[in-house]
Amino acid sequence: MRTQLFIDGRWTTPLEGGSFDVLDPATGKVIHRAPAATAVDVDAAVRAARRAFDEGPWPRMKGAQRARYLRAMAASVRRRLEELATLEVLDNGKPLPEARWDIGDVAGCFEYYATLAEELDNHDIEPIALPDPRFVSKAVREPLGVAGAIIPWNFPLLMAAWKVAPALAAGCTMVLKPSELTPLTALELGAIAQEADLPAGVLNIVTGLGPDAGQPLSEHPGVDKLAFTGSVPTGAKIMASAARDIKNISLELGGKSPFLIFEDSDIEKAVEWILFGIFWNQGQVCSATSRVLVQDALHDRLVARLVEEARKIKIAPGMTEGALLGPLISHGQFLKVRAAIDTACTEGAKLLCGGVRPLGLEQGYFMEPAVLVDVPLDSQAWREEIFGPVVCVRRFDTEAQAVALANDSRFGLAAAVMSSDDERTERVASRLRAGIVWINCSQPTFTEAPWGGYKQSGIGRELGRWGLDNYLETKQITRLVDDKPWGWYIK
């Protein structure tokens, strides 16, 4: 486990010498003290990234050359897969098979953006057809500059990869600030960059608290772009800092994603996708389908099966064989989720199962998966993100009513619809106000497909070619190819 920051290609002790506790959420015990960056370290990291961008070879080299570095980073991640997955379990609490799945996706993400970097060499110049034959024009795409990335704790290394890989592929340099709750694997990216021989200053990693390290990064005048994933309130602060000097921003914020289940659905498939859609990663997933809307005729049978299966889910520390649910990230998150359930019950919802600590797992932040029904439309549980293993279920009558209920939210990250009628699912998908719509499933995520939200769920898209566009500027270059006077003052 690392005790230093990664700045300008070197491991560096924080200038003010601080560190902070890192806890294992399965035990609540301190497992490490991570380096605490403050404004001076962030400044050093931004200056290093600035130099690497303004004076170094990185933004000027061919995409194919950058691709070689990205592939070397992917290879290093694959070589260290077991070590990184174990570190992720220790830091975040998730079950080991899911951590392995995440780390495999991290390597895949670097490989995918390596290919896009190579393709950029053939697609970075686009001729523009002009109506005036005296000019020829082209649009070129260029790296945007120095990017600051601020990320959360729910998929620690994967959230880093979603930003680092496209930024580097585009030719940007970066300062990465992971969550203080899960700094361990992000710091390992420094070692991975060294193994790949990445030029100094291209990737810098500063761990620390939000206000101490995140805020100076978001306010730093040397940063051209901020890429943020996290809560809406912090996103609003990032947007306000960016506004001061008009930084480019992309925001991936919260969600309250609906899952519409029509009466012609297969009940067993519906139950399986609901369970995965809300309980995977302990429900700490922004796109989690936390509002389930079930058509009247199916509602009672489906709820009964859902509760039956939710009760069977194995809850255990992430390294335990067969664990499906690990602990929540922190004591604070446990209390927040528990309070959301209590408030829901006082507001009229019925708790059918879960929401409590499982017997024998009193030490960590474990919680049994909860099913709430009859959740009032104006309740906090129905309207606000809980970010825990809690599903809210309501019934609906008609298709129009289901769509209206689904869209009645300030969020619009994801939505899902299930029915055996393909015309209906296509029609409903086109009416849902969300950046991601799954049909007959919930949550499958692909590096190739755009990811991001409508409304307060964010601005911009990550992943796919849209993720690369996030880190590119477009420049018009227009040449006069005619000798005659322009004629503005010569008559």
Ligand X SMILES: O=S(=O)(O)c1ccc(CO)cc1
Q: List interacting residues with ligand X (CB under 6 A).
A: 154-155, 158, 252, 285-287, 445
Tell me if 391 sits within 8 A of 381, measured CB to CB.
Answer: no
User: Which is catalytic among the residues 219, 252, 368, 385?
Assistant: 252
Q: Which C-beta is closer to ligand NAD: that of 14 or that of 143?
A: 14
State the Cα–Cα distance between residues 4 and 27, nearest whole angstrom: 25
Who contacts 140 (Cβ-Cβ below 8 Å, separation ≥6)? 124, 125, 126, 474, 475, 477
Report if residue 214 touches ligand NAD, rule: CB under 6 A: yes
Question: From residue 275 to residue 304, what is the string marking binding to ligand NAD with x (rule CB under 6 A)?
Answer: -----------x------------------
Report if residue 12 touches ligand NAD, rule: CB under 6 A: no
- Of the candidate residues 12, 76, 92, 229, the single one contacting ligand NAD (CB under 6 A): 229
Residue 445 contacts which entry, ligand X, ligand NAD, none (Cβ below 5-8 A, type-dependent): ligand X
Report if residue 150 touches ligand NAD, rule: CB under 6 A: yes
Residue 219 contacts which entry, ligand X, ligand NAD, none (Cβ below 5-8 A, type-dependent): none
Q: How far is CA 275 from CA 115, 310, 311, in A?
A: 35, 7, 11
State the Cα–Cα distance between residues 45 and 51, nearest whole angstrom: 10
Q: Which C-beta is closer to ligand NAD: that of 185 or that of 215?
A: 215
Q: How far is CA 232 from CA 154, 238, 411, in A?
A: 15, 10, 10
Report if residue 327 touches ligand NAD, rule: CB under 6 A: no
Report if residue 470 touches ligand NAD, rule: CB under 6 A: no
Other beta carbons within 10 Å of 119: 16
State the Cα–Cα distance between residues 456 and 423, nearest whole angstrom: 29
Q: Which C-beta is closer to ligand X: that of 252 or that of 469?
A: 252
Taking contact as CB under 6 A, which single stretch among the options 6-14, 194-202, 230-238, 470-478 is the one that binds ligand NAD? 230-238
**Per-residue burial over 42-77, b = 16 or more CB atoms within 10 Å of its CB, e = otherwise:** bbbbbbbbbbbbeebebbeeebeebbbbbbbbbbbb
Phi, psi of 486 (to 5 degrees): -70, -35
Q: How far apart are the first and last CA of the chain?
A: 75
Report if residue 133 touches ligand NAD, rule: CB under 6 A: no
- Of the candidate residues 12, 38, 185, 234, the single one contacting ligand NAD (CB under 6 A): 234
State the Cα–Cα distance between residues 463 and 470, nearest whole angstrom: 9
* Residues 352-391, interacting with ligand NAD (CB under 6 A): 385, 387
119 a catalytic residue: no
State the Cα–Cα distance between residues 142 and 467, nearest whole angstrom: 14
CA atoms 90, 96, 100, 105: torsion sign: negative
CB of 111 to ligand X, least distance (A): 16
252 a catalytic residue: yes
Tell me if 40 sits within 8 A of 15, measured CB to CB.
Answer: yes
Site size for ligand NAD (CB under 6 A)? 27
User: Which is catalytic among the residues 286, 368, 399, 462?
Assistant: 286
CB of 48 to ligand X, least distance (A): 28
CB of 330 to ligand NAD, least distance (A): 9
State the Cα–Cα distance between residues 153 and 102, nearest whole angstrom: 13
- Of the candidate residues 76, 92, 204, 215, the single one contacting ligand NAD (CB under 6 A): 215
Report if residue 252 touches ligand NAD, rule: CB under 6 A: yes
Residue 158 contacts which entry, ligand NAD, ligand X, none (Cβ below 5-8 A, type-dependent): ligand X
Tell me if 180 sits within 8 A of 210, measured CB to CB.
Answer: yes
- Of the candidate residues 38, 76, 179, 425, the single one contacting ligand NAD (CB under 6 A): 179
Q: Which C-beta is closer to ligand NAD: that of 150 or that of 402?
A: 150
Token output for 200? 């100094």
Q: Which C-beta is closer to ligand NAD: that of 154 or that of 173?
A: 154
Where do contacts with ligand NAD occur on this chain (CB under 6 A)? 150-154, 177, 179-180, 210-211, 214-215, 218, 229-231, 234, 237-238, 252-254, 286, 385, 387, 413, 458
Question: Which residues are catalytically annotated?
Answer: 252, 286
